């Protein structure tokens, strides 16, 4: 069944219309839309993206506080708890972390000793490193790539070329075996890599496979790359210490009303983690992905308040660990709380608060990754028309970003799953200034109205969304066939 705004009583329609605040485009006066307010979204996000939560790193006390807050909002909305511990899907992990107080990096050159602070490096090495007065081999980039073996067993210093993407491509093909690689990077002055990781996530990613230290300290870099200075390096990178941690996906369900369809599930998801504290700065992650998380809360609250339940059940879920590589959603994919074969769709929300897209202002519009992959784009387009939001296909990022967020974990299992965003790239992306006062809340409320109406459409339709026969979706279509 499609959602019909006409079923609203006339008196309510008038008073609710007064609440609709967008000046231009279509205004929606149905009860689902009017249950979603910019002010409510602002209230939730000003807490979740506050400094108190310290950037919600996986794992951290700030993240635990965020999880408890989300659970409290699901409780307030009246969702059924759906985790293994109330609203929490709790999982056990080992976290490895090094004590950077023991870090030391000195460069001796031309009779001077330079101390490099920990804040001026990114460590792309997981185990302990101990070098004492190590001699340095410096080579131009291209020469090093051609003559890879020349620095085997030694400390190799290379200056990163301007084209960093190409440089990391080169490094993946680099066959040399230096004892350690120091990459001089003049594009920044401070590092930002984390000094902890989840042990179960296995070995470092490909571009980090070589033991390397990225150096941002200009003075030390100059001393190391001055071939006449005869530089020597003393370096102590402490080894990691492991501890047990518990991590939580937060999940509640709005139980469906149809005797058969209630045992099928539509998911609305986001990730509630972010980058935490780096070099003393709190990365609040208001848009990434506080915006998606407060939208899950707000849409849950609006849909749960409706007199009529949807036919299918709707699952509201926020994941930990997206920033570490979709860890929370991958965990869910391996340990689903509702049968995957009965899960008909996932709409994942990412970065839906900022309208200052790097490609230009983006108001009353949203992107969907994998736009052509399933029938869900049609459903959301119809919903968008009712509330004045245009769902568009980004010519490049629709495909490129499909695997970049938590929808991927569900898609791999065969569930039609997309990520919806307003801006793919915005000025403070993964920066310390992604703050809650920069969000366009009126616009975000309109996006959420579209999502809520789209979710209801899917939940009330006997026909479930399906993968399309397009080449890029072929492997997901295959996975879906296996579920039957
Ligand atoms: Zn994100």
Tokens of 397: 């990022």
CA of 332 from ligand 1 middle (Å) equals: 17
For residue 163, how many other CB atoms are within 10 A of its CB?
A: 10
How far does Cα 264 stand from its chain's mean position? 27
Predicted local distance difference test score (pLDDT) of residue 203: 53
d(CA 247, CA 263): 27
Q: State in Å: Cα 220 to ligand 1 middle.
A: 34
Q: Identify each DSSP E strand in 112-159 by its residue range.
A: 112-115, 121-124, 129-138, 155-159
Query: Quick one: fold of 5-93+247-483?
Result: Aminopeptidase (3.40.630)
> What are the E-state strand segments in 301-401?
313-319, 343-349, 356-357, 360-361, 365-368, 390-392
Distance 208 CA to ligand 1 centre (A): 21
Asked whether this chain's domains 5-93+247-483 and 100-239 adopt the same fold, the reply is no
What 8-state DSSP symbol labels residue 154?
S
Model confidence pTM above 0.85: yes
Pairing of strands 155-159, 129-138: parallel
Nearby residues of 90 by Cβ (< 8 Å), 6 or more positions away: 83, 84, 246, 247, 248
What is the full per-residue pLDDT of the chain (484 aa) written as tens digits? 333 333 333 344 434 444 444 444 566 789 999 999 999 999 999 999 999 999 999 999 999 999 999 999 999 999 999 999 999 999 999 999 999 999 999 999 988 999 999 999 999 888 899 999 999 999 999 999 999 899 999 999 999 999 988 998 898 888 899 999 999 999 989 888 888 889 887 655 544 556 899 999 999 999 999 877 789 999 999 999 999 999 999 999 999 999 999 999 999 999 999 999 988 899 999 999 999 999 999 999 999 999 999 999 999 999 999 999 899 999 999 999 999 999 999 999 999 999 999 999 999 999 999 999 999 999 999 999 999 999 999 999 999 999 999 999 999 999 999 999 999 999 999 999 999 999 999 999 999 999 999 999 999 999 999 999 999 999 999 999 999 8
Q: How far is the CA of 44 from the centre of ligand 1 (A)?
A: 18
Ligand 1 centroid, distance to 210 Cα (angstroms): 27
User: Cα separation of 459 and 466, whole Å?
Assistant: 14
How many whole angstroms from 218 Cα to the centroid of ligand 1? 32
Query: What pairs with residue 109 in β-bridges?
Result: 112
- Residue 316 in contact with residue 253, Cβ under 8 Å? yes
Are 48 and 56 contacting, i.e. CB atoms less than 8 angstroms apart?
yes
Tell me, in angstroms, the distance from the centre of ligand 1 to residue 351's CA: 7
Compute, in angstroms, the gap from residue 323 CA to the centroid of ligand 1: 7
DSSP string, 268-319: EEEE----EEETTEEE--IIIIIHHHHHHHHHHHHHHTSSSPPSSEEEEEEE
CA of 454 to the centre of ligand 1 (A): 22
Domain map (residue ranges) of the chain: 5-93+247-483, 100-239
The predicted pLDDT at position 191 comes to: 87
d(CA 258, CA 311) in angstroms, rounded, equals 5
Q: Which two tokens stand for residue 52?
A: 């108190």
Kindly give the distance from the C-alpha atom of residue 150 to the centroid of ligand 1, in angstroms, as a whole number: 41
Taking a 5 Å cut-off on Cβ, the residues next to ion ligand 1 are 288-289, 350
- What distance in angstroms lies between residue 362's CA and the mean position of ligand 1's atoms? 18
The topology under which CATH files domain 100-239 is Glucose Oxidase; domain 1 (3.50.30)
Could you tell me the distance, in angstroms and rounded to a whole number, from the CA of residue 253 to the centre of ligand 1? Answer: 23
Tokens (6 digits) for 209:
């496979």
Give residues with Cβ within 8 angstroms of 228, minimum separation 6: none
Q: How many angstroms is it from 406 CA to the middle of ligand 1?
A: 9
Report whether 273 contacts 320 (CB < 8 A): yes
């Amino acid at each position: 069944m499609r959602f019909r705004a006409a079923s609203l009583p006339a008196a309510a329609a008038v008073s609710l219309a007064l609440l609709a605040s967008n000046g231009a485009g279509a205004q929606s006066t149905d009860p689902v839309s009017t249950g979603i307010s910019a002010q409510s979204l602002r209230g939730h996000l000003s807490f979740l993206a506050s400094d108190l939560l310290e950037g919600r790193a996986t794992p951290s006390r700030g993240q635990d506080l965020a999880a408890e807050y989300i659970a409290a909002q699901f409780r307030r909305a009246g969702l059924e708890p759906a985790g293994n511990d109330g609203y929490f899907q709790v999982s056990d992990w080992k976290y490895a972390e090094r004590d950077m107080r023991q870090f030391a990096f000195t460069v001796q050159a031309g009779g001077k000793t330079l101390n490099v602070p920990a804040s001026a490096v990114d460590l792309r090495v997981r185990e302990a490193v101990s070098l004492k007065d190590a001699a340095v081999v410096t080579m131009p980039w291209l020469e090093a790539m051609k003559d890879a073996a020349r620095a085997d067993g030694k400390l190799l210093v290379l200056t990163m070329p301007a084209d960093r993407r190409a440089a990391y491509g080169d490094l993946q093909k680099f066959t040399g075996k230096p004892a350690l690689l120091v990459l001089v990077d003049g594009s920044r002055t401070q590092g930002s890599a984390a000094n902890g990781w989840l042990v179960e996530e296995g070995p470092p990613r490909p571009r980090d496979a070589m033991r390397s230290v990225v150096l941002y300290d200009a003075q030390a870099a100059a001393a190391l790359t001055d071939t006449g200075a005869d530089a020597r390096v003393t370096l102590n990178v402490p080894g990691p210490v492991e501890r047990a941690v518990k991590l939580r996906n937060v999940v509640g369900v709005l139980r469906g009303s149809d005797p058969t369809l209630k045992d099928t599930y539509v998911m609305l998801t986001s990730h509630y983690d972010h980058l935490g504290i780096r070099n003393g700065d709190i990365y609040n992650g208001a848009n990434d992905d506080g915006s998606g998380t407060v939208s899950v809360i707000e849409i849950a609250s609006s849909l749960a308040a409706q007199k009529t339940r949807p036919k299918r059940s709707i699952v509201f879920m926020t994941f930990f660990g997206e920033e570490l590589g979709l860890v929370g959603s991958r965990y869910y994919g391996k340990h689903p709380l509702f049968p995957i074969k009965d899960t008909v769709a996932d709409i994942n929300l990412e970065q839906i608060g900022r309208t200052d897209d790097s490609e230009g202002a983006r108001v009353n519009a949203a992107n969907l990754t994998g736009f052509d992959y399933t029938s869900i784009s049609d459903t959301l387009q119809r919903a968008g028309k009712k509330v004045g939001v245009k769902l568009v296909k980004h010519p490049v990022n629709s495909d490129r970003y499909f695997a970049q967020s938590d929808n991927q974990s569900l898609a791999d299992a065969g569930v039609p799953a997309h990520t919806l965003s307003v801006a793919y790239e915005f000025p403070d992306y993964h920066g310390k200034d992604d703050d809650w006062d920069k969000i366009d809340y009126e616009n975000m409320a309109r996006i959420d109205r579209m999502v809520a109406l789209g979710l209801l459409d899917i939940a009330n339709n006997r026909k479930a969304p399906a993968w399309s026969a397009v080449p890029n979706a072929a492997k997901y279509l295959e996975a879906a066939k296996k579920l039957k």
